[in-house]
Amino acid sequence: MSLDVAAGAIIAYRLFDVAYAIDLGKAEANWARTVRTGISRGRLTATPAKAVTFGVPPVELTLDAVTLPLPAPFPVTATARLYEFGAVSLELHVPVADLGWAAFTQRLNDIDRTVADSPLWGMLLGRVRDGVGDALVRPAGTFLEEDYLVGVVQAFSETLPAEALLQRLDLVPLLSGEVRPLSDAARADLLRHRYSFYVDDLVVLTWDRAFIYEPRGDSDVLDVLEVANAQLLEMRYYDELLDGELPRMYDLVEAARRHRPLPGARRFADLARRFYTLVAEVTELTEKVDNALQVTEDVYLARIYAAALELFRVPTVSAAVSRKLSIIRDTYTALYDEAHSSRSEMLEIMVLVLIAVEIVVAVWR
């Protein structure tokens, strides 16, 4: 007999990089004054604060309910989370009850297709930006995005341990979105990142989807996955920012070297200061991203968090950002050295000119 989902939800996330940073205190005040809907600070519900904490807790905003055009119009709740380092996470929460497993998988895939290119995200993001106003520090003109989809079950029609669930349920169509049968190697790869703490809970992670079975209704795993996606988003932003800055840096350095020594020395120093400012800003923000969530004592959440970061390639993108920052650091150090060398050469020339003038004056007299 197949299992039914007695209670659960399908959660679609869309994350945007909207600004250099967000003043969370000002965002709360602006939202309370202009929108007057629910505001709260993010916290992990079931984990002791000393075990896992947000570096700076995000601000959670309650948005107006929206309707998804599934086979029938379906009202869903919408929320937004604002992170200090400039990211906004939008969440659509679709409740599910008394649904067969195949129908649950089908609904999740339907929601994925419905929201993939939906203008709904832009509308919700516009509401958030209007509501928080000038709390956005140096707002972005274009937005980098990440998305994630999670199927959550709080109760099945039968109470079974996690290992029995894996035997009874076919998670592959839910995790892959594919209707055609996958190879054994592909199936094994999809199910490779699975975790349990108690005998009756289960988390399975993939690159863009996850399945969570949590009878106690804890949302900590969801929070950890959201933070990991936000970190990926921000690291991608800085990676692309530095990709664009490096060729520009080479052109500016070459242009400065074509000038005469004294103006060149000034230009070298100005460029060095510019690059130093860029490195300082990016380093400050990437450190905030790295410290967005601090996991110390909760081994289970730490494993899920580390697996999510690795699966999303956050360390790889972070290492690329660090390499590019290192190149810029080396460049501004070399520019300072060239500026100092140019000034020294100019001083030497001036000394020689003065000596020559003194000799000429002495001979003339």
pLDDT in tens, 148-160: 999 999 999 888 8
Q: Is the pLDDT score of 209 beyond 70?
A: yes
Q: Which residue has the higher pLDDT, 4 or 298?
A: 4
In angstroms, how far is CA 60 from the centroid of its own chain? Answer: 16
Question: Which CB contacts under 8 angstroms, 24+ apart, belong to 318-323?
Answer: 318/235, 318/286, 318/290, 320/239, 321/235, 321/238, 321/239, 321/242, 321/282, 321/286
Contacts of 27 by beta carbon, 8 Å cutoff, 6+ apart = 59, 82, 132, 135
Beta strand pairing status for 136-156 and 209-213?
parallel
What pTM does this model have? 0.83
Q: Is the pLDDT score of 175 beyond 70?
A: yes
Least confident of 107-116, 250-259, 293-302: 250-259
Round to whole Å and give the CA distance between 229 and 344.
50
Round to whole Å and give the CA distance between 361 and 355.
10
pLDDT of residue 148: 96
Q: Is the pLDDT score of 250 beyond 80?
A: no
Q: Give the pLDDT band of residue 271 (cuts 50, 70, 90).
A: low
pLDDT of residue 78: 93
pLDDT of residue 263: 47
Question: Which CB contacts under 8 angstroms, 24+ apart, belong to 277-282?
Answer: 278/245, 278/328, 279/325, 279/328, 279/329, 279/332, 281/20, 282/238, 282/241, 282/242, 282/321, 282/325
In Å, how far are 17, 31, 36, 148, 150 from 134, measured between CA atoms? 16, 11, 17, 28, 32
For 111-132, what is the mean pLDDT?
92
Round to whole Å and give the CA distance between 42 and 39.
10
The length of the chain, given as a count of residues? 365
pLDDT of residue 205: 96
Q: Which residue has the higher pLDDT, 57 or 151?
A: 151
Name the residue type at position 324.
K
Round to whole Å and give the CA distance between 247 and 256.
14
Q: Is the pLDDT score of 222 beyond 70?
A: yes
Q: Is the pLDDT score of 245 beyond 50?
A: yes
Q: Which residues of 76-97 are buried (b: 16+ CB within 10 A; e: fewer)?
A: bebbbbbbbbbbbbbbbebebe
In Å, how far are 13, 75, 223, 311, 318 from 229, measured between CA atoms? 9, 26, 10, 10, 13
Q: Is the pLDDT score of 340 beyond 60?
A: no
Angle at which helix 299-311 crosses helix 220-257, to 10 degrees, equals 40
In Å, how far are 51, 53, 270 from 302, measured between CA atoms? 9, 11, 44
In Å, how far are 28, 110, 115 from 118, measured between CA atoms? 27, 13, 5
pLDDT of residue 260: 47
pLDDT of residue 257: 60
pLDDT of residue 262: 45
Compute the mean pLDDT over every residue in the chain, rounded to the nearest whole number: 83
